Chains A and B, each alone.
Chain A
């Protein structure tokens, strides 16, 4: 048995070995010793740890064997096939710039860079590595955990291109910086490893959006890592929108390094994708930092949407807030895993975590797991989770005023989602996301007859705990 397993693992890794040796020969920056060893070390580590299994505590509720089994090949030169016309629906007006990446590669000719505001620099990471590697070296791979996290190791091994965003000290960029990631598999399983580096220097402000879409319904595996460095007193809002095709695999990690009194908000909106894992990992390094992690996931069919939070309080007097709402229908499976680590010196920490879920069918499932590790003694940490259904009383109340059942359901779902929207600052990003959520919820609410047939009669269970 064990032998068989080992053999499988080796076969699984073989494709990656081939891909990696080929990648190393032509990768951008291969002549840079630091980058070369970063990649090699990460790849060696990936081979050692292999893909996680459900025995791994951090992956208990998410089985990635479908990713491990599939022989993905590195997607290359895909962007030649994307036309401006195909891009049309994904264009967003009013942004500072829209950078387009096709299978993780920066496509300058598809991007709109316009007149960039003063203090903002954006580029493809590959180009930046070639042009000014000295800007990249101090940050790339310095924050993300490649030792224990196989996907981060894999991404780092193949780190070559993605977005590079730099906001100069004191600069305030008011329009959103929009990063559009298009994956395309055509018919053969393909993988991409977009690697983004966002450096917001001291006292700067910016809004960054990562939007993940699919060009075609093929089996694409997108494994993203974003390292976001927020300098002292920087204010950064980060949005992640997942709306890929249902066959897509999307693993993403947002690793945030926060300086003194820096304020970072991370908003994740998971609407699409087949198997999705969204890791958000802020480390509050400087005193007085503030971090809000806000998320909404809406799943139906056989979607699996996993939200993994790891908030590390490493300095005193930092606040962190996690709010995640999930709406699950059909056979969808949602996961909320909120881990908070309060390190020894992080006195006066104030950490809060809330996860609320609506299950709309008998088959939909949510696993919610708080995990608090507190090594300081003067801290405030609370967590709570609820699981329920659409309230029949509320539905009847709306209907009794003339609102039809589908609209009433949609209204109630939207009200639930609004809790997350309300935590986003007013502006075009929020409006854009509101439109996407509306569309998704309409599809869910529209199936109300089906929902009715499977309506859960049992009472919602809920628990609330304080520590």
Chain B
């Protein structure tokens, strides 16, 4: 059984059809990359998997660990082990980063029948993950993402992932807007999370991140459909030829 199985998924946002029949299987231990031009539906796919309610699934099924994912609430999905790193992390004034993260961790632990972690036990583990992502401890007492730089926000997403230890992580354009140093740090964080029990799906527009995070599979999403799937070499081909050739291919396929 695959960890994630998407079958013939159609999704509308504000009455516009964005995803037009997606099929995808992701197994534990695998790293997938979904690449595509802007507006192809990459982020929509990520948001649907995190169960954003404003995205309307019109047709299709999604199974996660054998369970019907589309019947779950966002918090249930998270508790079951799915983590989405946001393309645009939200600023939440008045809630400290550390408190937020501990609340999230404890919600997930409760769901799994584990004891809650108190502030004292939380701190050492937290510090270790901070070090991994080269983050200043001071950021932890600041409000969630408030006045964080773009790079700090993205690193904060990976930090959350490292603390929450999901079974399936979906990174939605985590590389966008990162300078090369920040990208290396993010990549290091992601690579440290690779394990036989965990699957990671990296949604990206550019190939550069894939120099640091080497996927097992690459899927090209154009106009709401996966037009090609292949190994890491596909990313290099895209780098060379651009999305243009595949978009053209997709158009031909549609008209035929």
Contact = CB atoms under 8 A, between A and B. Distances in A.
Contact of B75 (A402, A412, A414, A415): A402
Given A396-B52, A396-B74, A411-B103, A402 B93 contact: no
B238 interface: no
A407 B93 contact: no
Contact of B94 (A399, A402, A407, A416): A416
Nearest to B101: A401
Interface string B82-120: 011010011111110000110111011001000000000
Contacts of A403: 75, 103-104, 107
B154 to A, nearest CB: 14
Contacts of A394: 90-92
B79 interface: yes
Given A396-B52, A407-B103, A411-B103, A401 B78 contact: yes
B160 A401 contact: yes
Q: Number of contact residues on A: which range applies?
A: 20 to 34
B131 interface: no
A418 B160 contact: no
Nearest to A397: B90
Contact of A407 (B84, B107, B111): B107
Given A402-B104, A405-B75, A407-B107, A414 B164 contact: no
Given A399-B78, A400-B84, A405-B75, A415 B92 contact: yes
Interface in A46-63: none
B80 to A, nearest CB: 9
Contacts of B144: 397
Chain A at the B interface: SS class: helix
B92 A397 contact: yes
B160 to A, nearest CB: 7
B226 interface: no
Contact of B93 (A397, A404, A415): A415
A405 B51 CA distance: 13
Determine which residue in A398, A407, A408, A418 has the highest number of CB atoms from chain B within 10 A of its CB, and name it.
Answer: A398
Contacts of A396: 52-53, 74, 90
A393 interface: yes
Contacts of A402: 75, 78-79, 104-105, 107-108, 111, 164
B50 interface: yes
A407 B51 CA distance: 18
B127 interface: no
Nearest to A405: B75
Given A397-B90, A414-B94, A405 B100 contact: no
A418 B94 contact: yes
A404 B103 contact: no
Contacts of B91: 394
B73 interface: yes
Nearest to A414: B94
Contacts of B78: 399-402
A145 interface: no
Determine which residue in A400, A405, A415 has the highest number of CB atoms from chain B within 10 A of its CB, and name it.
Answer: A400
Nearest to A401: B104
What 3 A-B pairs are tightest by C-beta distance, nearest first?
A415-B94, A401-B104, A402-B78
Given A400-B86, A402-B105, 13 more contacts: A393-B90, A396-B74, A396-B90, A397-B86, A397-B90, A401-B101, A401-B164, A402-B107, A403-B104, A404-B75, A411-B103, A412-B95, A415-B94
Interface of A: 391, 393-394, 396-405, 407-408, 411-412, 414-416, 418-419
13 contacts: A391-B90, A394-B90, A396-B52, A397-B86, A401-B78, A402-B108, A402-B164, A405-B73, A405-B75, A414-B94, A415-B94, A415-B95, A419-B94
